Structure 1
Amino acid sequence: MKKKKYLLVLGREALDRDSLLYQELLTNLELSGFEIIFDPMDRIRFSYQKVVGTKPFPGKYFLLPIFRAMYVLFRQGQWRDFICYLTGQISALEFRTRVVNRFIETIQPHVSRLVVLTRSAGSLVISKIANQLPVDQIICLGYPFKHPEEGDADFRTIHLAKIQIPMLIFQGLRDPYGGKEVRDRYVLSDFIQFKFLDVDHDFVMSEMELKLIQREMEEILTSLK
């Protein structure tokens, strides 16, 4: 089987708030042979929202976690990780990190190039495991360097000093999770580069800023033959 080049989209927890962003960013993007795929947890949520719509009904918000759990258990076979999560032995972040890690390991035999487009918590997930996976580039839209109310925490940033994968971070100047000061505030790997935009964490952008991100992404995708 011929290997493929993939652009993996790894979203944040508030995925429904990013639907328009993905549509604007990925529509008309010159992919240079890359195929867009979504993280399974994101894909399940997209499919669920498409089927059930916006109208409330009994049990609506309980079904999505069930569908996600079924994928993790029966498709990826992560029974031990699921039990550890349910019993509080690992955090929700660690659980999602393990699920993403398993997914990338599963597709690895079919991958020639892998670029990961991430949002917020998705950036935290992939940056923790990218060194051990066949990832060629991380493109991040808004890294959560700190919590707006709780402040800094080592689990958010300490691993960034050891990143050995090119990581381009588009960060908002008005982002409550960290603005332009992050370059000097944290110990960061030389593999990490920044582009600062006049946006907050929700990335409501001007046409010029959108085109800037698309242009940078296209240059990266074109460079990976």
Structure 2
Amino acid sequence: MPRKPALILVGRDNWQKDESLNQLLLGRFSRRNDIRIIWEDPAAEVIQRARRLESRLTWLPAFSRRLTLRLTQILYGLANPSYFVYLYRRRGNSIPARCHDLREIVGKLGAEYTPIVLSRSAGGRVASLIADSSNIEQIICMGYPFKHPQMGDEPERYMHLQHLKTPMLILQGTRDEYGGHDVEERYRLSPSVEVFLVETSHDFALNELQASTVFEKIESVIARQAGRQQQATH
């Protein structure tokens, strides 16, 4: 029996900056019954629901967004005390801690699911570091952080990509300050890594046409992975 794709959403270090992009992603994928969506942050789904409700209350002041976030996190944590442990580990956005958490998420998936990581920025780095030693079967990253614009060369960000065996699609902005249109020329990448350029910056602000192109590319990769699974079961 073909396995159902589990789309694991793994965000950038400051994931709150991507709320509008997250809403676009949810709008595209949440209507599909053939995909299970899992968030890296256990409270993220509840937070996104609160954000949708908040967006309808146009009279709320701007500062209420931070208050809504904190209140939702506290209420979720009171109902799920292990969430406070997650927030404690997540402080400072430690790459090893995030790798540990993602490995746990993937490990808890049942055999009926195909783990596909849909990531942003540092989330792609996290996924690519553990993919070959875990059950991740596909990585999709929007805006891989090849370099920090205010730092020198940091080989630990990209050296492992030249040996990566897990299929990985990198959707990279041509004006991305963390690595732009020339990443394929500047960095050695494994044959398993595909780079797809998008006319945008690291913030990945997309117009309607760009969003449609990006989502179609993502969906084609998910469909291709599902095709591999069907072939494997025959």
SS at match of 2:46: helix
Matching residue of 1:47: 46
Amino acid in the other structure paired with 2:195: F
Matching residue of 1:99: 101
Q: 1:112 to 1:208 in 2, by over 3 A?
A: same
Q: Give the Cα separation in 2 of the matches to 1:69 and 1:125.
A: 25
Superposition RMSD in Å: 3.2
Q: Give the Cα separation in 1 of the matches to 2:103 and 2:197.
A: 29
Q: 1:99 to 1:69 in 2, by over 3 A?
A: farther
Q: Give the Cα separation in 2 of the matches to 1:102 and 1:150.
A: 31
Q: Is the 8 A contact 1:32 1:221 kept in 2?
A: no
Q: Is the 8 A contact 2:39 2:45 kept in 1?
A: no
Q: Give the Cα separation in 2 of the matches to 1:157 and 1:69.
A: 36
Deviation string 1:99-141 (CA, Å, 9 cap, x unpaired) is: 111221122x344312110000100100000011222211110
Matching residue of 2:58: none
How does 1:169-208 map onto structure 2 within 5 Å? 169-208=170-209
The structural deviation recorded for 1:179 is: 0.4
Answering whether residue 6 of structure 2 is matched by residue 6 of structure 1, we say yes
Matching residue of 1:112: 113
> Unmatched 5+ residue regions in structure 1?
none
Q: Is the 8 A contact 2:119 2:139 kept in 1?
A: yes
How does 1:135-214 map onto structure 2 within 5 Å? 135-214=136-215
Deviates more, 1:9-18 or 1:115-124: 9-18
Deviation string 1:173-217 (CA, Å, 9 cap, x unpaired) is: 111100012111112111001111110011111212111111112
The structural deviation recorded for 1:169 is: 0.6
TM-score by length of 2: 0.75
Deviation string 1:20-72 (CA, Å, 9 cap, x unpaired) is: 11222342347471111111x2x325535839952559xx59x77x9598338
Q: Give the Cα separation in 2 of the matches to 1:114 and 1:55.
A: 32
Deviates more, 1:210-219 or 1:121-130: 210-219
* Percent of aligned positions that are identical: 30
TM-score by length of 1: 0.78
Q: 1:72 to 1:102 in 2, by over 3 A?
A: farther
Q: Give the Cα separation in 1 of the matches to 2:138 and 2:21.
A: 20
